[in-house]
């Protein structure tokens, strides 16, 4: 058996950054930017008012001062004159500030009498001006690669970028294996169960920016496995679930090898998830996950997610671990790295983590409640409540 770190390194070696494609700006959210976006103009392109009020010369912003209103500037239409001594311009948020003016007196500080305004006894101290280029200058850039957030999309729009160059979504073919499986909604026989793993993995893949295809369930015979593998021939990544162990009916490795699989490794020193394999099958990377539901999902977080990030051109590698205060005693760990399902909540100085009492790799009900994986190193000694331990987040802290 190899270590988790060695297995992840081998998995990442099977990937390659995918090519870029152009998408409309409105379809860019969540995609990975492949090429930088450059601003085509300053923002704002002119000095603009930050408030509704009156544009004046700052030297004349004196309590009680009377000024003559010489015009009006709504947003989107500049006033072409120049503000001189004793003059003011009615102006609205976003409108260009006229020449001669260097302050906006907010309308709450003004009394209006026809074409004359009187400044109040106390004035807001702000200038309420947005200088030209205060946000960004022409040529400013959004760096790549990065996963585009809603704020990034808004910034690209302000930069006047109608399209974006993004990395193509990895195509992932998901293959569940086993005579015991039926799809959700079907009527299982007395000796069958519902196929759940591929549905959870599909959600994980698509949350990370991939596109997942659920292929028909492969039965425990060579003909069925070969047929389903043929349906996955155009994928960037093939993910099998189950059938990778050493039982008489675990045929995935044998059939895949017959189809040309170049296996990188088989079995890793971790739990849950020992019967993991990876390799290359034609042009596709292959990741063979264990069949137990929690094992498949834990391995998905540890290996599948970093592989997707590598395909997308994002920084890939082991997920960053965090520290928390242990809230329960733990017995010594054995020769395999253990990823315990746990609950993390905020604490006074550090988050507090409590592993669930039941850690069986078939318990999806426990996994769905977990928001963290408590990491126990190989041969880790007994742990006492109050010690500091490491964990991987699965979701937000529970408040």
| Per-residue pLDDT tens over the stretch 299-332 | 999 999 999 999 999 998 888 999 999 999 999 9
pTM for this model (two decimals): 0.88
Mean pLDDT of 379-391: 97
Q: For residue range 347-376, what is the model confidence (pLDDT) as tens digits?
A: 999 999 999 999 999 999 999 999 999 999
Of residues 206 and 243, the one with the higher pLDDT is 206
Mean pLDDT of 250-265: 91
Cβ pair 377, 341 in contact under 8 A = no
Of residues 112 and 395, the one with the higher pLDDT is 112
Residues forming a β-bridge with 103: 56
Q: What is the mean pLDDT of the chain?
A: 94
**Is residue 398 over pLDDT 80?**
no
DSSP 298: H
Q: Which residues lie closer than 8 Å to 305 by C-beta, 6 or more apart?
A: 204, 208, 319
**Is residue 39 over pLDDT 60?**
yes
Q: For tokens 């318990």, name the residue.
A: 363
Query: How far is residue 140's CA from residue 145's CA, in Å, rounded to a whole number?
Result: 16
**Is residue 231 over pLDDT 60?**
yes
Name the region of 209 (left: φ>0; alpha: ψ -120 to 50; beta: rest): left
Query: How far is residue 110's CA from residue 120's CA, in Å, rounded to a whole number?
Result: 6
**Is residue 142 over pLDDT 60?**
yes
DSSP 275: S
pLDDT given for residue 380 in this prediction? 96
Cα diameter, the chain: 96
* Percentage, residues of the chain above pLDDT 90: 90
Mean pLDDT of 11-40: 97
pLDDT given for residue 262 in this prediction? 95
**Is residue 281 over pLDDT 50?**
yes
Cβ pair 174, 211 in contact under 8 A = no
Residue 238: Cβ within 10 Å count:
27
Query: How far is residue 229's CA from residue 368's CA, in Å, rounded to a whole number?
Result: 30
**Is residue 338 over pLDDT 60?**
yes
Q: For residue range 87-133, what is the model confidence (pLDDT) as tens digits?
A: 999 999 999 999 999 999 999 999 999 999 999 999 988 999 999 99
Cβ pair 119, 110 in contact under 8 A = yes
**Is residue 399 over pLDDT 90?**
no
Mean pLDDT of 247-252: 64
pLDDT given for residue 249 in this prediction? 46
pLDDT given for residue 280 in this prediction? 97
Query: How far is residue 52's CA from residue 50's CA, in Å, rounded to a whole number?
Result: 7
pLDDT given for residue 248 in this prediction? 45
Supply 200's token pair: 């959870």
Mean pLDDT of 5-15: 96
């Amino acid at each position: 058996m190899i270590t988790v770190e060695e297995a992840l390194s081998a998995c990442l070696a099977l990937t390659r950054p995918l090519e870029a494609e152009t998408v409309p700006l409105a379809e860019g959210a969540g995609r990975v930017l492949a090429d930088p976006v450059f601003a085509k103009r300053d923002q704002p392109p002119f000095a603009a008012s930050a408030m509704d009020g009156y544009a004046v010369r700052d030297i004349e912003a004196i309590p009680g001062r009377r000024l003559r209103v010489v015009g009006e500037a709504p947003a989107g239409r500049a006033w072409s004159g120049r503000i001189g001594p004793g003059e003011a311009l009615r102006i609205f948020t976003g409108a260009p500030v006229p020449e001669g003016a260097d302050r906006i007196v907010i309308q709450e500080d003004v009394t209006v009498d026809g074409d004359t305004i009187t400044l109040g006894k106390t004035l807001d101290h702000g200038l309420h001006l947005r200088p030209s280029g205060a946000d960004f200058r022409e040529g400013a850039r959004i760096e790549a690669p990065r996963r585009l957030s809603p704020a990034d999309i808004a910034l690209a729009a302000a930069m006047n970028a109608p399209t974006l160059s993004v990395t193509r979504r990895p195509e992932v073919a998901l293959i569940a294996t086993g005579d015991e499986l039926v799809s959700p909604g079907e009527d299982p026989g007395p000796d069958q169960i519902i196929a759940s793993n591929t549905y959870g993995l599909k959600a994980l893949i698509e949350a990370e920016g991939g596109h997942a295809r659920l292929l028909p369930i492969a039965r425990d015979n060579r003909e069925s496995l070969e047929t389903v593998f043929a349906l996955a021939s155009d994928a960037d990544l093939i993910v099998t679930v189950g059938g990778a162990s050493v039982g008489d009916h675990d045929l995935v490795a044998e059939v895949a090898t017959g189809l040309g699989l170049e296996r990188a490794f088989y079995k890793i020193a971790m739990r849950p998830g020992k019967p993991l394999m990876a390799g290359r099958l034609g042009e596709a990377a292959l990741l063979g996950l264990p069949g137990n539901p929690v094992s498949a999902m834990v391995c998905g977080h540890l290996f599948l997610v970093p592989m997707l990030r590598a395909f997308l051109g994002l920084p890939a590698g082991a997920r960053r671990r965090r520290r928390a205060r242990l809230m329960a005693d733990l017995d010594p760990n054995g020769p395999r790295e253990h990823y315990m399902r746990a609950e993390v909540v905020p604490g006074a100085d550090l988050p507090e983590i409590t592993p669930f009492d039941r850690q069986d790799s078939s318990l999806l009900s426990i996994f769905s409640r977990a928001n963290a994986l408590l990491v126990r190193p190989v041969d880790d000694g007994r742990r006492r409540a109050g010690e500091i331990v490491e964990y991987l987040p699965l979701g937000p802290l529970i408040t």
